[in-house]
Amino acid sequence: MAATPHRFRDRCILFFGTVHLAFLAVSILPRPWTESIGVGTVTHAYEATTTCLQDWSMFETIPNIHHLDVRLIVESPGTAPQRLGMRLPGLRPYPQPEHARYRNWATLVLLRQDRSDQREPYMRRVAAELLKSGRYPPEATVRLDCEAWYTRSLLGVRKLREIAVLRPTSMGPFRLADLAPVTPQATNP
């Protein structure tokens, strides 16, 4: 049996519960819908306060991407291109089988435009790490290769017995010195 809400605490619970429940009720509608009916601003503000993001459009990339691999190619003058891992720090390889967090990073930053602003700082850090290793001169170049395998249509898979098609993309090559300018050695006055 429910208690009678006489006490201040009970009133607070009722108030908070009602507000949060109303927020959840509105959040059943996908984000574009809430924005079209004009309650988007209110729900955004409440989300910002509680950090309870209600955006459940999971598995967006599933129909498109079958497999992903990302790597760095470094070329020093007069030497053969070298293949390196893309994970910072340490330039470790892109995990295979894929790791959800690295895949999400690669999808957002490299494949889509959502977070493409993160590409340049990432490449600058890569260059800084390569220079710090002492194995590459500032004139060496670095390129980021992204191998995305896109799933064929189901009809295509049935006919061709091939799941996906490779569509590689590259960023670069960039000179290490341009990405991470070498700071001049401190000199004695």
Partner 1 sequence: MRTLSAKIHDLLTGLFLARADARIYACVRMAFALVALMNLLMLWPHRGSFLTDVGMIDQELTRQTYRWPYLTVFDWCRDLTSVSVVMIGAGTAMLMLLAGWLPRLAALAIYVWHVSYAARGVTALCGWDTVLRCVSFLVLVSPLPAVWTLTKKRAEAPEAPCYGLTLIRFQLLVIYWQTVLDRLDSQFWLSGEFMGYYLLSHNARWPVAWVADFDLTLRALTYLILIVEVALPVMLMTRRWHRAGLLIGFLFHFGIFVTSNNLLMFLLAMMVLYAAFLRSEDIDWLTRQARRLLGTSDARQGADQKVRKSRTSRAS
Contact 91, 72 (CB under 8 A): yes
Binding of partner 1 by 6 (CB under 8 A): no
For residue 52, what are the contacts with CB-CB under 8 A and spacing of at least 6? Answer: 23, 46
Q: Is the peptide bond before 89 cis (omega within 30 degrees of 0)?
A: yes
**Three-state secondary structure call for residue 117:** helix
170 near partner 1, rule: CB under 8 A: no
Taking the complex as a whole, how short is the minimal distance between the CB of residue 50 and partner 1, in angstroms? 5
d(CA 66, CA 62) in angstroms, rounded, equals 8
Residue 167 burial (CB < 10 Å; 0-12/13-18/19+)? exposed
Query: By CB under 8 A, which span of 29-37, 77-85, 136-144, 180-188 interacts with partner 1?
Result: 29-37
- Stretch 117-146 residues interacting with partner 1 (CB under 8 A): 117-118, 121-122, 125, 129
Give min distance, CB of 98 to partner 1, in A. 6
Q: Which of 40, 46, 67, 138 binds partner 1 (CB under 8 A)?
A: 67
Closest to partner 1 by CB, 20 vs 79, is 20
* 90-119 positions binding partner 1, by CB under 8 A: 90, 97-105, 108-109, 115, 117-118
Its sign, for the CA torsion 5, 11, 13, 16, is: positive
24 contributes a contact to partner 1 by CB under 8 A: yes
- Closest distance to partner 1 from the beta carbon of 94 (Å): 11
Q: How far is CA 55 from the centre of its chain?
A: 16
The residues in 35-54 that bind partner 1, with binding defined as CB under 8 A, are: 44, 47-48, 50-54
